[in-house]
Structure 1
Amino acid sequence: MALTRCISRPSDAWSCNVTDVSAFDDLYGLQIIEHSPDRMRGQLAVSDKVKQPYGLLHGGVLASIGETLASVGTAIAVMDDGNIAVGMSNHTQFLRPITEGTVHAEARPVHRGRSTWVWDVQLSNDSGALCAIGRVTIAVRPGPHPGMSPTQG
């Protein structure tokens, strides 16, 4: 989630732009192209740095895309109420390999609860073929108390 970038700057950690990709997501090249509590979209250009030894896009990258989109979408909805959104579970199924081009991802919430949100994620290749699906659960928790740094629990 984008808050990881903010944690490295404690003075403004809770006022950062949640739609910025985190340092981790930046490492593998995720771009968020649409963001709202109703629909999140992202894309990733496939390169050698995100492939496993057999030349296929690493499955962990696909799972990470899904979790980031779900986390950011939830955070957009709950941060104004003083809450934070953190990953709780992530189940990603790989249906078809991706070796080149761009990964296109779309996430939509299927449950918007007080303490959890559940998202369905679809990841496809350039031709629109579905390559992976995910179900991601995001926990909604109270944010920090005044004066608390993001690393304090």
Structure 2
Amino acid sequence: MTWRCISVLAESVASLGAYNLIDQSTHYAVGLEINANHIRSKREGMVTAVGVPLHKGRTTMVWEMKILDEEHKLICIFSVYDRYNFYKQIILSAKRYCTQDFKSKCRIMG
């Protein structure tokens, strides 16, 4: 198993955990940072991701993720930082980006 696969697993578990702890009708969660320490390699078999929220603040969460093999040996440990915002902020950001992009195209063309 490559470190990329294991990183995707850790990020997915943290994102699902964050999603389950926020109000999905008003908020969304995104990953900010992931830090990994690879302890040993795993060539075949199964791994399990165990995630624990270490901090749940007003706008951020910190997750500790442990990747274990079938014998419960530690393969990798991750710290994942997630941020959550209101959906309204996404819409405003998108409108602002589109407006700025349109203006920059107009300046280039004209």
TM-score, L = length of structure 2: 0.77
- 1:101 equivalent in structure 2: 45
Q: Which runs of 5+ in 2 are unaligned?
A: 96-110
Indicate the structure with greater strand content.
Answer: 2
Q: How many residues are treated as equivalent by the alignment?
A: 93
CA-CA distance at 1:80 after TM superposition? 3.9
Is 2:87 aligned against 1:143?
A: yes
Identity %: 24
Q: Distance in 1 between matches of 2:46 and 2:85?
A: 34
Larger Rg: 2
Higher relative contact order (CA 8 A, sep 6+): 2
Equivalent residues in 2 for 1:77-96 (5 A)? Answer: 77-80=21-24, 82-96=26-40
The runs of at least 4 aligned residues of structure 1 exceeding 2 Å deviation read none
Q: Distance in 2 between matches of 1:119 and 1:70?
A: 6
Q: Distance in 1 between matches of 2:31 and 2:23?
A: 15
Q: Distance in 1 between matches of 2:76 and 2:61?
A: 20
Equivalent residues in 2 for 1:6-21 (5 A)? Answer: none
Indicate the structure with greater helix content.
Answer: 2
SS at match of 1:141: strand
